Amino acid sequence: MAKILLIDDDVELTGMLTEYLTQEGFDMVAIHEGEAGKQEALSGSYDLVVLDVMLPGMKGIEVLNRIRLDSQIPVLMLTAKGDDVDRIVGLESGADDYVPKPCTPRELVARIRAILRRLESSQHPDDKIVEGALTLWPKQRKAEWQGQQLDLTSSEFSLLEVLAVNAGAIVGKKELSEKGLGRPLARFDRSIDVHLSSIRQKLGNLPEGRSCILTVRGKGYLFVKV
């Protein structure tokens, strides 16, 4: 049974979501304030955090930033419907995915399960993937670049794994979304672009100065095979 931490100040909403997710087989804990939520998220007791952007006191993005200083626990953000700024800032701060509010409990469950499935499965669960300076251990969700450990979120690891497995070939955004994020590509969804921008920053450039992840306009992305 996966243990989920829900951080949201809307008591009525958290009560409804907690009841629904409990019926779906999750072990739920709800906290209504950012600082307490951050401390609880870092306790090591949870499999995933659902975090509202709009919180009293410490805002959701700040909570996420503080969590990411010490932990790569999957974080699913609840954002205002139509607010692209919150979504992009959340993803850039290390959120694994987002769900716009108001959301249906069914959609939230689907997103949570997609993230948890990525943690439990891999295209190559027992193998080490080596592509140039990149080494991935999918079973341990561990990554190294040029011998140095990479701190990747769950979504970043999954997207990088898909690209590395297909090194030298273009991978479309539709395939990246389905295999890397565990969900169909939504119209106007910029999640993949933001995640890959973060991955590029963490990897740095190849010796000749170019990125190892290329954008192929209108087609997708390519991990440079070296």
The pLDDT, as a whole number, for residue 126 is 58
pLDDT, averaged per 10 consecutive residues of the chain (226 residues), comes to 95 94 97 95 96 91 96 93 82 93 91 90 68 91 93 94 96 94 86 95 87 93 90
Range of the domain at 134: 129-223
Q: Are residues 157 and 93 in the same domain?
A: no
Q: Are residues 68 and 168 in the same domain?
A: no
How far apart, in Å, are the Cα atoms of 62 and each of 55, 87, 215? Answer: 10, 14, 30
pTM of the model: 0.85
Q: Are 79 and 34 in contact (CB under 8 A)?
A: no
Amino acid at 173: K
Q: Are residues 133 and 162 in the same domain?
A: yes
CA distance 175 to 177: 5
Q: Are residues 145 and 56 in the same domain?
A: no
How many domains, in total, are found in the chain? 2
Q: Are residues 86 and 169 in the same domain?
A: no
Q: Are residues 138 and 215 in the same domain?
A: yes
The last residue of a domain, from among 120, 138, 161: 120
User: How many Cβ atoms from other residues are within 10 Å of residue 21's Cβ?
Assistant: 21
Q: Are residues 201 and 111 in the same domain?
A: no
Q: Are residues 171 and 206 in the same domain?
A: yes
Q: Are residues 10 and 111 in the same domain?
A: yes
Q: Are residues 145 and 197 in the same domain?
A: yes
* Omega before residue 102 within 30° of 0, cis: yes
How far apart, in Å, are the Cα atoms of 203 and each of 39, 67, 141, 186? Answer: 30, 21, 16, 27
CATH number of the structural domain spanning residue 187: 1.10.10.10
The last residue of a domain, from among 100, 120, 140: 120
Q: Are residues 100 and 200 in the same domain?
A: no
Q: Are residues 108 and 11 in the same domain?
A: yes
φ, ψ dihedrals at 172, nearest 5° = -70, 160
User: How many Cβ atoms from other residues are within 10 Å of residue 200's Cβ?
Assistant: 15
The pLDDT, as a whole number, for residue 87 is 87
